[in-house]
Structure formats: C-alpha cells, structure tokens
Structure 1
Amino acid sequence: MTPTLDWLAEPCPPIDQTAVQHALARQDQLTKPPGSLGRLEELAVRLAGLQRTATPEVDPVRVLLFAADHGVAAEGVSRYPQDVTKQMVRNIANGGAGVAVMAKAVGAGLDIIELGLATGSEVVEGVRSEPLGPGSGNIAREPAMTPEQLARALDIGRDAVDRAVDAGVRLIIGGELGIANTTAAAALASALLDRAASEVVGPGTGLDSAGVNRKAEVVARALALHASEPRAPLEMLRRLGGFEIAALTGAYLRAAQRGVAMLIDGFIVSSAALAAVRLQPAARDWMLFSHRSAEPGHRLMMEALEADPLLDLGFRLGEATGACAAVPLLRLACAVHRDMATFDEAGVSNAC
C-alpha cells in the first residue's frame, strides 16, 4: 500500500509559557548575577518550555543516523567513490567512526538506518535496513525520488522518532551519511532559499577550488532542470534531496509533533530542518542548533532559520558529530539550573 502524507499536517504543540516563566523565576533566585551564565541560562529556560517543566533534563539522548547514496555522485562531485558509504555504515556500526565514538562518549544512543546504497544493502548487526532503491536519482538529470520513495522516506524518519520517543528519549539528534549528499543538500538549500548555487556550494569532503566550481555547476544544472516544476517545499525535496535528507525531514517534523526537542547538526541536516520548517513553521520552536558548519551555505540556512548555533569549531564531517559535541552544554545548562543553590538556600544576600 502506498503511504500517504496526511500525517505531515498534524499540529506541533506550543511551547509551555508557564514552564518558561517558572524557569525564569528560578534563574532569578540562583546564586549568581542575573544573566552571568549567558546562553546556558537561555538553554535551560528554552528546554523548560519545551519539556513543560521548570527543571528540564536532557537525557536520554538518541542519534538517528540515516544513510543513503546519491545518483549525482556520477557527476564527479565527491573525492570518494560510492562504495565508501557502505564501508562507513559498517564502520559506524562497529564503533569506529566519528559519530559512533562521540555518541558513546556523551552517552547518546545511536540508531543507524540504511535507506538505499548504490553498491547494494547487506546485513550488518546494529543497522536497520529499509532500502528504497540503489540510491536516489541523479538530480542533474532526473528527480531524486519518485513520489512513493519520498513518502516512504518521510515515514521512515517519522517511525524512527516514534520508536525513540516511545522509549522515553528527551532529545533527538539527526545524522546523515552518503557520498555526494552535500551536493543534494546544496541544491535543496539553494532552491528553498532562492539563492544561486555558487552562494551555497562548498568543499564538502575536501574538494579543491576546481572541484567546488564543478560541484556548483552541477547544482546549477540541477536547479535549472527542475526550475519549471512547482516550488512547493515537498516537491523541491522530492526532486533535489535524497533518501536520508527526506527521512531527516520526516524525523524533524515528527519530533516537533511529539513535543520533543531536537539538536540540529550541520550543513546537510540543516537543509532537512529548513525543509521541515517550510512545511510546518511551528516545527522551528522545537529546534536547537549545535554548531556552525564550515560549509558556506550553512550560514545562509542559519539566517533563514533565525538560528544562532552554540559552537563554532570548524566542523564539516557531518554524521551528527557537531550535535554530539554540543550535548554536554545542554547537560550543563540543566545541571546548573537544577542544582545551583538559591540565595535563600545558601544564605547569601540578594540585595542590589
């Protein structure tokens, strides 16, 4: 049976303003000058409103990592061959990749969902295989997905969040893996932002200037090919995205619908977050932004989303590594908010 997209219109709950006010009142009573912990205070108050409690908690945290290949790799837009995607899926499952190491270090669960590899799926312990085809279509020559593939990818993202939330997860992190996915993300971002390819495209896995120019030309061709089609966000996602980007879009919409905070990673997942917000603007309330990607187009997406990421460490690996790096900041925000003594408890004067 072909999946439907009716669930995309389900509403997102509002931020609990009563919890926000209670959290602000507590911050005013903690033994520190008002605002002296800067964005840690802001994070605690924001999480209070999202979790509907004056004393929020970050844990449990779960990373949902979606892996898929992209037909646009045939245009020579990456330094690496597509069989690297399958090899990296195995590496992540075995604990050897950046996201696996960082998720373990910060105590986050890790779900790996493979949606379609150019070199074929294989049974790997710890990987959920839900292939939609041998990678998405070459966006410079055809749509990335059929309507059925798009609907199924969105559903896969939704279902991954439902499993996590039903297990008690309080913070969702989306991650991605797939050779040539910075090209697809750049094309989608360019279309959603109505910006030229040259403004959005970056080095990705480490292309030199000639490689970046070639990738920008491929993205420009893709935008031109699909320019006459409807500009609706869902259609742009279908034509220019990829299986894992669509699954991330579905995941972000579902997390907002379920009232669970999301910590957004870098360039590629931000294109999915932007698509989710264009589909349902209320989803933006549930997003926290972890870091500034070194990819040039990331700044444009952050401006469009009115986001101010927590970290700026020059990351451009993807996989959700930037978001994992920011988890300790959220834990610190909650710990200080919860455990710091009030002026009354400490017997400290709060006279101004």
Structure 2
Amino acid sequence: MFDQFNILPISDDFVSELRHKIDTKTKPLGALGELESIALKLGQIQQSLTPKVDNAKMLVFAADHGVVDQGISAFPQEVTPQMVVNFLQGGAAVSVFCQQHQVPLRIVDVGVKADLADHPLLAQRKVAYGTQDISLQAAMDDQALAAAIAAGVAEVDLALQEGVTLLMFGEMGIGNTGVSSCMLSAMTGASSEATAGRGTGLDDAGVSHKAKVIAKALARAEQETGQASSSWPAATLAKQVGGFEIVAMASAMLQAAQHKTAFVVDGFICSVALMLAQKVSANVLDYAIFAHQSNEQAHQQVLAQLGAEPILSLDLRLGEGSGAILAYPLIKSACVFLNKMASFEHAGVSEGE
C-alpha cells in the first residue's frame, strides 16, 4: 500500500551557491530571517538558484468520521457536506483567501457522508460514506485504505501535469480533530488528555469526553492488533484509527516529495497527516514547509516532534488550509528576494565586515 513511495532526501548540490547568493544580497547576514531558510529550502528542492512558486495549488480533502456518533464534536456531521458546498460556492475562508492570492482551489471528496453534485472545483473520489466508528471497530479495511492513498496520489499527479510547483493541503471533516488526536496519541504514546483539544469549540466537559472516547478507541485497537499502538506501521495506524482525508493528505505529501515538489503543511490535522507520511519515509520532511502553529492544544507537540519552525502564529484553529494560504505570500516573498533583490556587487553597496 504505502510501499509505492521511494523518496530521496533533498540534494545538497546547490547549498553553497544558494547560501552565497542569499548572503551577498544587500542586507546584513541573516537579516531576512526565516525567509532565507525558505528560499534555501526551495532552491534545494527545485535544484535551482531561481526557485519559483507562482504556480501553486490548494487541495482540500474532505471526509466524514463514524466516531462523531460518540458526541466528540460541537457541530453535527451534516456540516461537512454543507461546508464543502460553501467551499465550492466561494464562501469559505480558504475560498476567499485563494481568490485573493489567485491560487486555484480543488476540493477532493474522499469520504463525505452525502452525495455531492458535480462541480468544476470538486473531485469525486469517494472511498465510502465516512469511516467506521473507531471506538467500536477499525476505521477502514485494506481496500478502503488503498483507495484513500490512490486519491491523494492521483490529485498530486494531476497538479504536476498542470505544471504546479508548490502544493498546499487542507482538510474538512467534522470530528477529524478527535481522530487526529487519537492518531497522535497512538504514534507518540501521549495520553488522550494531552492530545484532545477543543476542535470546533468544545467546552471542558466536551474535551474530557473526547479524551475518553480516544482512550477507548486506542484500547480497542491495541487489543484487536495485539500490539502497542506506538509500534504500529503506517498502514495499521491508518486502518485502525485514521480518516480518509488524513490518509489522502499523507499520500499526497508522499507523492509530492517523490516528485521533488515542495508542499505547505497547514495546521494540526495536516501536521498529523505528515507524521503518518513520515512513518512511511522520513525523507518526506525535506519537502515540507510549515505554515503556522495553530490554537489546537496538541499542535505544538506535533511541531516539536517534527522539528518544525512554522512561518506564522496567528492563534488560528480553522483548518481548511486557511493557514497554508495565509503563509503563501511570505513563501512567494522568499523567492522574490532571492531572484530579484540586488547583490552588494551589482548595487555598488559596500559590504559589512
């Protein structure tokens, strides 16, 4: 299933040339901070002294979760298809931000619990009408896992055929913060109390209940597999406690990395998808740019686990890829300064000691 991915680490071939180009711009050394790190990374990934990200694309994967029946979300499940329609009609946050920055938006239905009408921005790749309730049984079987992986791969392949040079990922699915918290606990051994957050706005009692449901799901899965969750391979993790949109995002990240294409990681759920992808290949991290640190309780844990330095910290907790598209202008600026800013030599400016 996940064995189709063979990801090479990014090459160091251009590092010295890129560093020289960055360091000889008309500025003190390191004065552009994180923009310099982004420029260096993009140059390495694209193996170019003039990297470009003008041709970007946002992919939002949408799916539902059976565990919502356990009351782990402040919003009902029908909000998932309603929000997908809102995306398609241009009314959601990610929609208006993509319009603002002229980035094409594509919504990928990999498991919404409703039939959605055809739309130019919608990809119909439904695996099933949501996952099973992970507190009672495995989220998906082998066939569903393979279909979710294939959905992510196919969408990236389509984007690369269009000449896209930067991918951004987002998600939509009521209950997916709970599923992501469960996956995080499984991967790190952190307690469900430490990973369960407010999601769409739960109160303290709701968060406590969510933590109990997560603990029940993990206990059920560990008993069923006969293994501690921390030792599960990626496929077992995904099948036992995953979500279709999370699996599709993880496979999309892996496929982008396999084709040496940079991608932007949104918030908590997207970061957990990257942790799943990392279980398949650690080299996938070389191609990731982290957009922001969200307000969700466990996101800082995930970022620390991944050794990530996000671009923004705006107290966001919306999902949808909203943080990724907000970070996009800064990623573009990293390329602009590298490609267009004058060097000391060309500008006739004296260098510092």
Normalising by structure 1, report the TM-score. 0.96
Matched, 1:279 2:288: no
- 2:201 aligns with one of 206, 215, 218: 206
SS in 2 for 1:17: coil
1:125 shift after superposition: 4.2
Aligned counterpart, 1:338: 339
- Using the TM superposition, give the Cα deviation of residue 56 of structure 1 relative to its aligned residue in structure 2, in angstroms: 1.1
Shift of residue 5, structure 1, vs aligned partner: 4.5
Aligned to 1:7: 4
Alpha-carbon shift at residue 165 of structure 1 (Å): 1.2
Separation of aligned partners in 2, 1:24 and 1:61 = 25
- The amino acid that maps onto 1:53 is S
What letter matches 1:104 in structure 2? Answer: Q
Taking the aligned partners of 2:20 and 2:196, their CA distance within structure 1 comes to 45
User: Offset at 1:295?
Assistant: 0.8
Q: CA deviation at 1:193?
A: 1.2
**In 2, Cα distance between the equivalents of 1:120 and 1:217?**
32
Q: Which amino acid aligns with 1:251?
A: A
Q: How far apart are residue 89 of structure 1 and its match?
A: 0.7
Q: Conserved in 2, the CA contact under 8 Å of 1:71 and 1:139?
A: yes
Q: What amino acid maps onto 2:235 in structure 1?
A: L
Give the 3-state SS of the residue equivalent to 1:227 in structure 2.
helix
Partner amino acid, structure 2, of 1:258: H
Q: Which residue of the partner structure matches residue 83 of structure 1?
A: 78
1:15 positional shift: 1.6
Count residues in correspondence.
347
Q: How far, CA to CA, are the matches of 1:12 and 1:271 in structure 2?
A: 19
Is the 1:51–1:260 contact (alpha carbons within 8 Å) kept by the matching residues of 2? Answer: yes
What is the match of residue 97 of structure 1?
Answer: 92
Question: Where do 1:254-269 residues align within 5 Å?
Answer: 254-269=255-270
Q: Map 1:307-318; keep pairs closer than 5 Å.
A: 307-318=308-319
Q: Deviations over 1:34-72 (max 9, x none)?
A: 111111111111111011001211121111111111001
Structure 1: distance between partners of 2:105 and 2:120: 13
Residue of structure 1 aligned with 2:213, choices 214, 218, 222:
218
Quick check: 2:2–2:235 contact (8 Å CA) kept in 1?
Answer: no
Does structure 1 retain, via aligned residues, the 8 Å contact 2:58–2:169? Answer: yes
Q: Greater CA deviation, 267-276 or 11-20?
A: 11-20
Q: Secondary structure at the match of 1:296?
A: coil
- Equivalent pairs: percent with the same residue? 38
Root mean square deviation of aligned Cα: 1.2
Paired residues of 2:170 and 2:319 also in contact (CA < 8 A): yes
Deviation digits for residues 152-184 of structure 1 (CA, Å, limit 9, x no counterpart): 101100111111112111111111001111111
Alpha-carbon distance in 2 for matches of 1:332, 1:115: 33
Cα distance, 1:17–1:71 mapped onto 2, change above 3 Å = same
| Cα distance in 2 for residues equivalent to 1:123 and 1:18 | 46
Amino acid at match of 2:65: H
The 3-state SS of whatever aligns with 1:139 is coil
SS of equivalent residue, structure 1 residue 324:
helix
List structure 1 segments (4+ residues) > 4 angstroms apart after TM superposition. Answer: none
Q: Could you tell me which amino acid in structure 2 is paired with residue 292 of structure 1?
A: Q
1:326 corresponds to which residue? 327
Equivalent position of 1:289 in the other structure: 290
Which residue number in structure 2 is paired with residue 154 of structure 1? 149
The answer for unaligned runs of 5 or more in structure 1 is none
Aligned residue number for residue 244 of structure 1: 245
Deviations 1:4-29 (A, max 9, x none): 54413xx2233231222211011121
The offset of 1:126, in angstroms, is 2.2
Q: How far, CA to CA, are the matches of 1:18 and 1:328 in structure 2?
A: 27
- Shift, 1:270, TM fit: 0.8
Letter in 1 for 2:25: L
Unaligned runs of 5+ in 2: none
Q: CA deviation at 1:104?
A: 1.4
Letter of the 1:7 counterpart: Q
- Contact 2:105/2:121 (<8 A) preserved: no
Post-superposition CA distance 1:182-233 (Å, at most 9, x none): 1111111110111111111100001111111111111111111111324222
Q: Find the partner of 1:132 among 124, 127, 144.
A: 127
Matched residues in 2 for 1:244 and 1:281: separation? 21
TM-score (normalizing by structure 2):
0.96
